[in-house]
Amino acid sequence: MRKIYLGVLMLYLGILSSHAQTQTEKQAAKDTSNYQSRKLSLDEVNFVSGYYHQNGNNSAVTGGIGTEKLTDFANTLDVQFSKYGKSGRKNTYLFELGVDHYTSASSDKIDPSTISSASMQDTRVYPSLNWTTLNEKTGNSFGFTGSYSHEFDYQSFGAGFNLTRLSKDKNTQFDFKAQAFLDTWKVILPIELRTGYNPNVQQGHEHWDYPSAPRNSFSTSFSLSQVLSTRLQALIVVEPSYQKGLLATRYQRDYFIDGSERAENLPGGRYKLPIGLRFNYFLDDHFVIRTFYRYYMDNWGIRAHTAEIEVPVKFSSFVSVSPYYRYNYQTGTRYFAPYGQHNPNDTYYTSDYDLSTLHSNFVGANLRLAPPKGVFGWQRFNSLELRYGHYMRSTGLNSNIVTLAMKFK
């Protein structure tokens, strides 16, 4: 039961092993120049660990006022295997396991009578598995993904499909993705709005039998990338999506001009349409300029513009630093109002400042080490990255995120 306002993390750690060829395999390699080993092999292992911390004073749990203090520690491990089939196509298997643990002061206000309820902290576990088959001659591929996610108040089952097509000269690439997430949420109301509440008898979430409600999400992504010149590359991406079910966070309070209080209520359907455009310009051997712009709209009335620039600076063949900056401006939903300003006649209402009119700045840098002999002289330790970002929002929310990523090949 959390709100994390910046996306947080992914990637990996592991131990690689190699297997010697048998004498028969060596002989076959000599006799057949086109031979590809059909043995399952470990390609790479990635580990990402990130720490996120935020502060603010517009908690939606308490109606748009109160602390938004939150910390999240996230870790993701992915392991990639590959195997060539009889047809010569390369089959890649990617297993990913993520574990997040967070603490949230605002979530503890769902039931203020508890000193430290279960809602104050929780752990989310989310494994996934992807299979992709690739024709290395053409660069064309397709694959499928299955995923699962679970924490105290919800569980989710996901499925996805990915497709890539390249032109004959490899200068044009089309990517398509489709995903579906079937979620089940526990309908948790603020303690004072629950039917039959008796503060002397029922203390803590363990005494409540919460009803459940579905929330299904369907998304697609269409992207087209083009090499325009030896220095310039461009990409356009369109990502329409649709959600249906319980879209309101029912333990978030709303207060009205007549002094009444209700649980957040939002429409049961939501269409989203983000459109993005990216340009990468290779200035020389040491500088790359990456720019990105995205326009977002939905049927709740939200409109947003996001612009980002990142300039990787390559100091040597294996050391680079990438400073970046992102600016976002958002026009809020028609259903938003601050604490105590909702009209009692409204059907839908929220005091969640994520859905309000706002602007934000995000600035940081990424340090990457990829020495030819491996990080710290370990050949298998392919790369090490350290990334830091600071987020500032016009509503008063501020946050910091530190991410460590390691790749082993």
pTM for this model (two decimals) = 0.85
Q: How confident is the model over 254-274, as pLDDT tens digits?
A: 999 999 999 999 999 999 999
Q: Which amino acid is at 258?
A: D
Close Cβ partners of 18 (under 8 Å, ≥ 6 residues apart): none
Looking at the DSSP bridge assignments, the partners of residue 185 are 154, 213
Detail the DSSP E strand segments found in 6-66: 41-55
* pLDDT tops 60 at residue 2: no
Neighbours of 259 (CB within 10 A): 8
Q: Which of 112-121, 124-133, 230-239, 291-300 has the lowest mean pLDDT?
A: 112-121
Q: Which amino acid is at 374?
A: G
What is the pLDDT at residue 350?
98
* pLDDT tops 70 at residue 187: yes
Cβ burial of 195 (10 Å; 0-12, 13-18, 19+) is exposed
Neighbours of 240 (CB within 10 A): 14
Q: Which DSSP helix (H) or strand (E) runs through 358?
A: strand 358-369
What is the pLDDT at residue 201?
47
Cβ(390)–Cβ(326) below 8 Å = no
Q: How confident is the model over 314-363, as pLDDT tens digits?
A: 998 899 999 999 999 999 999 999 999 999 999 999 999 999 999 999 99
What is the residue whose two structure tokens read 């290395």? 136
Q: Identify the three-state secondary structure at position 256.
A: strand
Residue 172, CA distances (Å) to 140, 269, 279, 290, 375 in order: 12, 36, 14, 18, 34
Q: Which DSSP helix (H) or strand (E) runs through 28?
A: helix 23-31
Domains in the chain, start-ordered, CATH in brackets?
38-408 (2.40.160.40)
Dihedral-angle region of residue 199 (phi above 0 means left; psi in -120 to 50 means alpha; beta otherwise): alpha
Close Cβ partners of 124 (under 8 Å, ≥ 6 residues apart): 98, 99, 100, 101, 102, 149, 150, 151
Confidence of residue 235 (pLDDT cuts 50, 70, 90): very high
Neighbours of 214 (CB within 10 A): 11
Percentage of the chain exceeding pLDDT 90:
73
d(CA 208, CA 206): 6
HSE-CB for 373 with a 13 A CA cutoff: 2
Helices and strands (H and E) in the chain: how many: 1, 20
Q: Which DSSP helix (H) or strand (E) runs through 407?
A: strand 398-408
Residue 141, CA distances (Å) to 126, 161, 175, 237 in order: 25, 11, 10, 19
Residue 345, CA distances (Å) to 139, 252, 260, 349, 359 in order: 57, 19, 12, 10, 29
Q: How confident is the model over 347-403, as pLDDT tens digits?
A: 999 999 999 999 999 999 999 999 988 898 888 999 999 999 999 999 999 999 999
Q: Look up residue 359 and give its two tokens.
A: 């602007």
Q: Look up residue 335 and give its two tokens.
A: 């259903």
